[in-house]
Amino acid sequence: MKLPIPAEEQFQAPAHHERVTSRIGLALAITFTTCFVTGLISHLIQHPPGWFSWPSRPIGLYRVTQGLHVISGVASIPLLLAKLWSVYPKLFGRPLVRSLPHALERLSILVLSGAAFFELTTGLLNVAQNYPWGFYFPQVHYAVAWLAIGSILVHVAVKLPIIRRALSRTTTAAEAPAEASAEGLSRRGFLVTTGLATGVAVVATAGATVPFLRGVSALSWRSGKGTQDLPVNRTAAAAGVTWSPTWRLSVVTARGTMKFSLDELRALPQTTAELPIACVEGWSQSATWRGISLPTLLKAAGAAPGTAVRVSSSERGGLYGVSVLPGEHTADELTLLALELNGEVLAPDHGFPCRIIAPNRPGVLQTKWVTKLEAL
Ligand SMILES: Nc1nc2c(c(=O)[nH]1)N[C@H]1C(S)=C(S)[C@@H](COP(=O)(O)O)O[C@H]1N2
Ligand SMILES: [Mo]
């Protein structure tokens, strides 16, 4: 039996009109670009090339860029679905391949949809801390982002004449009656529905990073809850770390290695600061930290503030047991080797006996269970 395949021209619903496609495309271009740029920033901070430096102030900037990354990614999901719905009759266009440029255009759309879909699903699963794949998420998510943005640029360039025409406001007299008599959801109706779905998706997740939305964010993960009023990303048990009274902090400088017991650290001048943890996975939360500022500690050990420092933890085998504090951060009085959180001694899950907490840094670099600092 042969199934009747409809021709492209037979899809008459207003949702498939090029003006709808272009409007949603424009919204998608904005959310995707925001997502790409903020993602790139996050990647550069975590893997800084020589030319890149990230300031330690304002303290909450990364909280904003990474919050935007997750929110714009979430907003892109309903927009992408609506866009695909709006253009899917094109998939029925025949003949399948008309010319070489046409074939390339179809291929680029395949790459574009695949890459965009991959980015949004892996990103969302990462936010939900669900890792059903065997690859190292950040690298693949980063590589495919370039594929997505590249194919978007090609796509926009190819479609520019149509986009121009569709976004110019005048409705021709010939079009107006067709729009008025169209059955089902009108163009406006489809756009409004898409906008609402996007708004709901954003509000349902944004509470993870925007405090006043917490009450309405049904899908907001782990904000507000947790030991000492702060979410825990990796517990001491999961990291396999234990502590004994013989513990010492090693500070390695050009002058040699100095060792500090916990009591000796407590005897150094302490600084209190209100700083957020801004997890790359999207949640962020502010807390009150108390400990030794890095400039103070470096001076006590005989090194100059502003020297880059490698931070190692007692965690073995984890991906986040080591980080590097660049000079911008070791010179900042608000970069702390924290001993206390919200007025109490650090809980084991938050990094007892001491952890790094620095302004304007991804959470993943706020190393817990610190045992060694090396001036580089
Ligand atoms: N040693 C070590 N430090 C770590 C981690 C880790 O897995 N191991 N996770 C990091 C991540 S991803 C985040 S978001 C913060 C969370 O800190 P918290 O668990 O105290 O909220 O700790 C960071 N410090
Ligand atoms: Mo994190």
Q: What is the mean pLDDT of residues 280-294?
A: 93
Q: Which residues pair with 287 in a beta bridge?
A: 275
Confidence tier at 188 by pLDDT (50, 70, 90): very high
Q: Give the 3-state secondary structure of residue 23.
A: helix
| Residue scoring higher pLDDT (183 or 82) | 82
Using CB distances shorter than 6 Å, the residues near ligand 1 are 230-234, 239, 277, 279, 313, 315, 318, 320-321, 350-351, 363-364, 366-369
| Residue scoring higher pLDDT (224 or 153) | 153
Written as one string, the DSSP assignment of 42-58 is HHHHHS--TT----S-S
Q: Which helix (H) or strand (E) holds 70?
A: helix 61-87
* Site of tokens 């360039």: 157
Residues 6+ apart with CB under 8 A from 356: 311, 323, 325, 335, 336, 337, 338, 365, 366, 367, 368, 370
Indicate if the pLDDT at residue 176 is higher than 80.
no
C-alpha to C-alpha distance for 105 and 114, rounded to whole angstroms:
14
Give the pLDDT confidence score for residue 224 in this predicted structure. Answer: 55
* Site of tokens 């995707």: 32
C-alpha to C-alpha distance for 326 and 310, rounded to whole angstroms:
9
Give the pLDDT confidence score for residue 105 in this predicted structure. Answer: 81
Give the model confidence (pLDDT) of 35-69 as tens digits. Answer: 999 999 999 999 999 999 999 999 999 999 999 99
Task: Find the largest Cα–Cα distance for the chain.
Answer: 85
Torsion of CA 189, 193, 199, 204, to 10 degrees: 160
Q: What is the mean pLDDT of residues 176-180?
A: 52
| Ligand having the closest approach to the CA of 354 | 1
Of 185, 167, 219, nearest in space to 29 by CA: 167
Give the pLDDT confidence score for residue 216 in this predicted structure. Answer: 58
Residue 350 alpha carbon, nearest atom of ligand 1: 20
Give the pLDDT confidence score for residue 113 in this predicted structure. Answer: 92
Q: What is the mean pLDDT of residues 9-35?
A: 91
Burial class of 185 by CB neighbour count within 10 A (0 to 12, 13 to 18, 19+):
middle
Say what percent of the chain tops pLDDT 70: 88
Of 262, 322, 313, 254, nearest in space to 292 by CA: 262
Give the model confidence (pLDDT) of 291-312 as tens digits. Answer: 999 999 999 999 999 999 999 9
Omega into 58 within 30° of 0, i.e. cis? yes
Residue 233 alpha carbon, nearest atom of ligand 1: 19
Residue 313 alpha carbon, nearest atom of ligand 1: 1
Confidence tier at 219 by pLDDT (50, 70, 90): low
What is the pLDDT of the chain when averaged over all its residues? 89
Take atom 4 of ligand 1 and give the residue whose Cα is closest: 367
**Fold adopted by 229-375:** Sulfite Oxidase; Chain A, domain 2 (3.90.420)
Confidence tier at 365 by pLDDT (50, 70, 90): very high
Take atom 11 of ligand 1 and give the residue whose Cα is closest: 364
Amino acid at 275: L
Cα of 30 from ligand 2 centre, angstroms: 26
Take atom 19 of ligand 1 and give the residue whose Cα is closest: 232
Mutate to test the pocket of ligand 1, among 221, 227, 234, 316 (most ligand atoms within 8 A of CB): 234
Q: What is the mean pLDDT of residues 341-351?
A: 97
Give the model confidence (pLDDT) of 139-152 as tens digits. Answer: 999 999 999 999 99
Give the pLDDT confidence score for residue 12 in this predicted structure. Answer: 80
Backbone angle region of 369, left / alpha / beta, with phi > 0 → left and psi within -120 to 50 → alpha: left
Indicate if the pLDDT at residue 178 is higher than 90.
no
Of 78, 54, 368, 49, nearest in space to 233 by CA: 368
Residue 314 alpha carbon, nearest atom of ligand 1: 1
Cα of 301 from ligand 2 centre, angstroms: 30
C-alpha to C-alpha distance for 199 and 189, rounded to whole angstroms:
15
Q: What is the mean pLDDT of residues 126-130?
A: 72
* Site of tokens 């065997």: 134
Radius of gyration of the chain (CA): 26
Give the model confidence (pLDDT) of 84-102 as tens digits. Answer: 999 888 877 778 888 888 8
Cα of 362 from ligand 2 centre, angstroms: 7
Q: At 358, list the tokens.
A: 């620095």
* Site of tokens 């970069």: 335
Omega into 95 within 30° of 0, i.e. cis? yes
CA 367 to chain centre: 19
Of 229, 207, 233, nearest in space to 219 by CA: 207
Residue range(s) occupied by CATH 3.90.420.10 in the chain: 229-375
Cα of 376 from ligand 2 centre, angstroms: 25
